[in-house]
Amino acid sequence: MLFKIGRYLMTPGAKMALLAFALVFPFLASNEYQVYVMASAFVWAIAVYGLNIITGYCGQLNLAHGGFFAIGAYTLALLTADAGWSFWPAFVAALLVSAALGFLVGIVSLRLKEHYFAIFTLCVGFIIYLLIDKWEELTHGAIGVRNIAAPSGFGLVDFTETVPFYYLVLAFLVFCIWFMGRLSRSLLGRTFIAIRNGDELAQSLGINLMRNKILAFVLSTTYAGLAGALYAGMVRIIGPEEANIVHTFDMITYLLVGGIGTLMGPLLGTVGIVWITQSLQFLEEYRMIIFGPMLVILVIFFPRGISGQFLTWMHHKVQSMVPGKKRKEKKVQNASTEEAKNNA
Amino acid sequence: MLKVEHLTKMFGGLAAVNDVSVEFETGKINAIIGPNGAGKSTFFNLISGLHQPTSGRITLDGVDVTHMPSDKVARLGVGRTFQTTNLFEQATVLDNLIVGHRLRTESGLWDVLINSKRLQREEKAARDKAMEALDFVGLNHIAGQFIADTTQEERKRVAFALALATDPKIILLDEPAAGVNPEETEGFAELMRKMVDNGLTLCLIEHKMDMIMSLADKIMVLDHGEKIAEGTPEEIRNNPAVIEAYLGGDEDAAA
């Protein structure tokens, strides 16, 4: 029974059903606030997909991700509020700026490996925060930016309304997931995974490390910038807090819970946690008492997140179902693997 | 085909590889032996471009590869395996092998975005190559299994297949038979002979003397970074310098 449900979940039909649910959600929601929460969850999910490219697929823990989200948000905010641009040109500019800055940060930081890279990007993230907070002539400092333009609907729709904005975000999210799916199955995605498996092995397979890592990094910062720009267009008032390192760690949590390096993980993790956080709102600060242990249990028992665990479980189900003999064989194999491990 | 001249690598004041010259001929099994810390793995890293030599020259079929980055060296046809191979555990054997042919493909981000004909063609080629390599090492029956569910021996064969999928001319094998039982060791020796019969050149580091002596065409012995002997298995077996290095003529040789 569970297996049948599982098998259905892996079909394209399940994705269509999920999309259909997302499309009718505004009509099912009991109030506009729920639609707003869902739209903001989608915005964060886009950013988490970006993190999934560089950290999930390519294996480089980027702690400046929240910083690039803020760069996208601030580029859009300053261009529309101060420079008088309309939303869409500013939106494209936000993508280009976060890609360009991602490239510049990437060529420096990706020379470092593993935790050195993580520490370096942590610092980059903090520098971005400091620049936004202290460079008052440009960013208005702690006051933040007001009067940010909403996306123009070209006279057809009004994106200052919650529901149309929700559909706009949904459209971007669907595109981001679609592209991610295509990327992860392609030779390029496999190249990123080879780098995650190990730098030296990847190089011995003829993979140019720097070029591919930079590509993954720029893609991830572009996703972050896209999410940031949408966020700015949604809330219309932003401040230096958007660059707070806390957001990066939130995104890492979403990614870990949903399933790092999987296609649906970022969506599941982000939407799931955002709604759990919402439903525990009545507990105020005490919600961490429930939330904390939940995370601990998840990380211990499902280290690959919900999506990763599901895929592994399904794979083993399918494998064990083939011939009856196979199961036995596999047990023997497992035993010899254990033995080999012990011997090594 | 692979010619190494006066190769030296200094790590600070220590010469990990010291003035080593050797030539590996096409279609032969060349072995490198020596006590632990003799510089064998460093020697491999120098050839494959992971480390840059301090001095000396390496040429592959006449092309100077001395200071080439390792991805370029791989593209010129130097494949290699490592003592341990980290693979994507929760992916199938076949999925792990497809990337092996990446270096012979051109598709980039744009091809992914528009799902170009070139990308489709190249992905099929990479998949076919992976299947071919898997077939060659005798693992096509586990193509759909997760790496996490494979045995130590199968993993080693997958590492071979990964190197084969790069279409190499020469493969550097770092302890291919470490951690497998005698029966499986014989299987690897057979696999290596099969590779050579198919026109490949092999160069391996190994500690299993029985295997080396029956398998290798030529053996080079390294000790403290220096080449102390080179020759056929018979010559090496009777070389006093080699016996001294292994059995310990002086106090630090046993290291």
**CATH of residue B60:** 3.40.50.300
CB contact under 8 A, B90 and A311: yes
* Full domain range(s) for residue A319: 309-344
Q: Give the single-character DSSP code of B92.
A: B
Judge contact between A80 and A90, C-beta under 8 A. yes
- pLDDT for B30 equals 94
- Residue B60 sits in the same domain as residue B174: yes
Query: CB of A311 within 8 Å of any CB in chain B?
Result: yes
Q: Whose CA is closest to A179, among A52, A82, A288?
A: A52
Residue range A231-245: mean pLDDT, rounded: 93
Q: How far is A304 from chain B (nearest CA, A)?
A: 9
Report residue B185 as tokens: 């060791």
Chain centroid, CA B143 distance in Å: 23
Residue B202 counted as domain residue: yes
pLDDT in tens, B105-155: 999 999 998 999 999 999 999 999 999 999 999 999 999 999 999 999 999
Q: Give the DSSP H/E element, type plus range, for residue B234.
A: helix B233-237
Among B80, B98, B113, select the one facing A190 at the smallest CB separation.
B98
- pLDDT for B249 equals 54
- pLDDT for A1 equals 77
Whether residue A185 has pLDDT greater than 70: yes
CB contact under 8 A, B50 and A203: yes
Largest CA distance in chain A: 73
Collapsing DSSP states into helix, strand and coil, what is residue B246?
helix
- Residue A7 sits in the same domain as residue A99: no
B75 vs A145, A192, B59, CA distance in Å?
A: 51, 18, 14
Domain count, chain B: 2
Whether residue A14 has pLDDT greater than 90: no
Last residue of a domain, one of B113, B132, B167: B167
- Residue A150 sits in the same domain as residue A8: no
Residue B82 counted as domain residue: no
Among A183, A207, A337, select the one facing B71 at the smallest CB separation.
A207
Structure confidence at residue A326 as a pLDDT band (50, 70, 90): very low
B160 vs A276, A331, B172, B202, CA distance in Å?
A: 47, 25, 10, 12
Residue B63 counted as domain residue: yes
- Residue B7 sits in the same domain as residue B67: yes
Domain count, chain A: 3
- pLDDT for B253 equals 41
- Residue B102 sits in the same domain as residue B222: no
- pLDDT for B1 equals 85
Q: In the block, which residue shows the tokens 């895929």?
A: A311
Q: In the block, which residue shows the tokens 């925060």?
A: A129
Among B49, B82, B109, select the one facing A188 at the smallest CB separation.
B109
- pLDDT for A119 equals 96
Distance, in Å, from the CA atom of A18 to the CA atom of A279, rounded to the nearest integer, reads: 21
Q: Whose CA is closest to A189, among A175, A199, A179?
A: A179
Q: What's the predicted TM-score (pTM) here? A: 0.89
Residue range A40-60: mean pLDDT, rounded: 96
Strand partners, A145: A238
Query: CB of A215 within 8 Å of any CB in chain B?
Result: yes
* HSE (side-chain half, CA atoms, 13 Å) at B172: 27
* HSE (side-chain half, CA atoms, 13 Å) at B216: 29
- pLDDT for B79 equals 94
Judge contact between A67 and A227, C-beta under 8 A. no
- Residue B99 sits in the same domain as residue B155: yes
- Residue B159 sits in the same domain as residue B173: no
- pLDDT for B124 equals 94
Q: List alpha helices for B76-181, DSSP H.
A: 93-98, 109-114, 117-136, 152-164
- Residue B66 sits in the same domain as residue B101: no
* Full domain range(s) for residue B152: 87-167
Q: Is A293 exposed, middle or buried (0-12, 13-18, 19+ CB in 10 A)?
A: exposed
Whether residue A257 has pLDDT greater than 60: yes
Collapsing DSSP states into helix, strand and coil, what is residue B95?
helix
pLDDT in tens, A275-284: 988 888 888 7
Q: How far is B90 from chain A (nearest CA, A)?
A: 7
Say which amino acid occupies A113: K
- pLDDT for A282 equals 83
Q: How far is B141 from chain A (nearest CA, A)?
A: 11
- Residue in chain B closest to A219 (alpha carbons) equals B109
- pLDDT for A340 equals 45
- pLDDT for A344 equals 39
- pLDDT for A291 equals 82
pLDDT in tens, A278-318: 888 888 788 888 888 888 888 888 888 888 888 888 888 88
What SS3 string covers chain A? Answer: CHHHHHHHHCCHHHHHHHHHHHHHHHHHCCCHHHHHHHHHHHHHHHHHHHHHHHHHHCCCCCCCHHHHHHHHHHHHHHHHHCCCCCHHHHHHHHHHHHHHHHHHHHHHHCCCCHHHHHHHHHHHHHHHHHHHHHCHHHHCHHHCECCCCCCCCCCCCCCCCHHHHHHHHHHHHHHHHHHHHHHHHCHHHHHHHHHHHCHHHHHHCCCCHHHHHHHHHHHHHHHHHHHHHHHHHHHCCECHHHHCHHHHHHHHHHHHHHCCCCCCHHHHHHHHHHHHHHHCHHHHHHHHHHHHHHHHHHHHHCCCHHHHHHHHHHHHHHHHHCCHHHHHHHHHHHHHHHHHHHHC
Residues of B in Cβ contact (< 8 Å) with A222: none
Q: Show contacts of B150-154: CB within 8 Å, 24+ apart.
A: B150/A333, B150/A337, B150/B93, B151/A333, B151/A336, B151/A337, B151/A340, B152/A336, B152/A337, B152/A340, B152/A341, B152/A344, B152/B179, B152/B180, B153/A340, B153/B180, B153/B184, B153/B187, B154/B93
- pLDDT for B37 equals 85
Say which amino acid occupies A176: C
- Residue B63 sits in the same domain as residue B186: yes
Among B50, B105, B166, select the one facing A200 at the smallest CB separation.
B50
- Residue A127 sits in the same domain as residue A163: yes
Distance, in Å, from the CA atom of A344 to the CA atom of A232, rounded to the nearest integer, reads: 54
Q: Whose CA is closest to B195, among B163, B220, B221?
A: B163
- pLDDT for A10 equals 82
Q: In the block, which residue shows the tokens 């990380």?
A: A299
Distance, in Å, from the CA atom of A101 to the CA atom of A243, rounded to the nearest integer, reads: 15
pLDDT in tens, A55-103: 999 999 999 999 999 999 999 999 999 998 999 999 999 999 999 999 9
Last residue of a domain, one of B120, B147, B167: B167
Collapsing DSSP states into helix, strand and coil, what is residue B132?
helix
Whether residue A329 has pLDDT greater than 90: no
Residue range A207-231: mean pLDDT, rounded: 96
Predicted-complex ipTM score = 0.90
- Residue B193 sits in the same domain as residue B253: yes
- pLDDT for A323 equals 59
Higher pLDDT, B251 or A17: A17
Q: What order of strands is seen across the sheet that includes strand B218-223?
A: B78-81, B170-174, B201-205, B29-33, B218-223, B226-231
pLDDT, tens digit only, all 255 positions of chain B: 899 999 999 998 889 999 999 999 999 999 999 888 889 999 999 999 999 999 999 999 999 999 999 999 999 999 999 988 889 988 999 999 999 999 999 999 999 989 999 999 999 999 999 999 999 999 999 999 999 999 999 999 999 999 999 999 999 999 988 888 889 999 999 999 999 999 999 999 998 888 899 999 999 999 999 999 999 998 988 888 888 887 765 544 444
Judge contact between A132 and A243, C-beta under 8 A. yes
**CATH of residue A206:** 1.10.3470
pLDDT in tens, A98-154: 999 999 999 999 999 989 999 999 999 999 999 999 998 899 888 899 889 888 888
- Residue B2 sits in the same domain as residue B125: no
Q: Give the DSSP H/E element, type plus range, for residue B174.
A: strand B170-174
- pLDDT for B254 equals 42
Residues of A in Cβ contact (< 8 Å) with B107: 186-188
Q: In the block, which residue shows the tokens 């060529």?
A: A107
Q: In the block, which residue shows the tokens 């029966």?
A: B183
